[in-house]
Amino acid sequence: SDFQRQYMTIQAADRNESSLDRTVAFKNALAPYEKAIVDGRLFTEMASGTLSTDKFRYALKYFYPLVESFPKLMGLCLAKAEATTVGAEASGWLIHNIQIERRHANWFRDWAIGFGVGQQHFNDGIQPPPAMDALNHYLWRKCTYGDLIEAISSLNYAIEGPTGIWTKRVMQNIDKYHGKDGINVDIDTVRWLRAHAHYDDHHPDEALQVTLLHVTSEQDLARAIKAAQDGMAYYAMAADACYELVS
């Protein structure tokens, strides 16, 4: 497919020594920020099967606006890619993944409803508390006003990297919640979770390599790292607030 050919181009670029060095530098700079998310109380207890149903439902309800807006944010990235003379690889990659992300909001909603979040919340619109909504505002700002490097780093790497880690962990014990306080765990309930536990295996690395194709200086690399660090910092803040706001 065209996407596969484009990704082969990305992989070839990654074999370049300078690109490999930048990949290592980027991942090392982000590692502690990622750890703060996936090892925080919310996702640790969610993965162990010990998170209270009230906290779990709160997380599913108030993280939904982020999931729902994801393909729209990627659309803003696509507009940036199409405006550049060297954005063909990024454009192809974004188009391919926007189509996937459009399905995910429905799957996430199925998860939330299966865990007892009322359908009416999705019909009426969900307004997250400020400490959680700050992440949404940051991503909209970066994807609107940042350049392509900052937009993809803050969105596709900073959000989907940690998400791929905690979803794998949560999948291992998700059945422990079945029957608790009316929770139903079935194929529909775990479709989003399963997709991200597998789909995100390679997606953050693809996002990083797309980003690095547009990095031409150490200053560019520093901006990409800072955008992703801030994205992960807001993600950790949202997760911590989600945990603390429910007794």
pLDDT of res. 8? 46
Per-residue tokens: 104? 């995910």
pLDDT of res. 83? 84
Per-residue tokens: 166? 């905690």
- Dist CA 218 CA 222 (whole Å): 6
Per-residue tokens: 200? 């995100």
Q: Helix H segments across the chain?
A: 2-14, 17-38, 41-48, 53-82, 88-114, 119-124, 130-145, 148-152, 160-173, 191-199, 203-213, 218-244
pLDDT of res. 1? 46
What parts of the chain have a pLDDT lower than 70? Answer: 1-18, 85-87, 199-201
Packing angle, helices 160-173 and 191-199, rounded to 10? 130
- 232 near 158, Cβ under 8 Å? yes
Q: Looking at this protein, which amino acid is placed at residue 119? A: Q
pLDDT of res. 9? 53
Q: What is the pTM assigned to this prediction?
A: 0.91
pLDDT of res. 10? 52
pLDDT tens-place string over residues 50-69: 999 999 999 999 999 999 99
- Dist CA 194 CA 120 (whole Å): 25
pLDDT of res. 84? 77
pLDDT of res. 17? 53
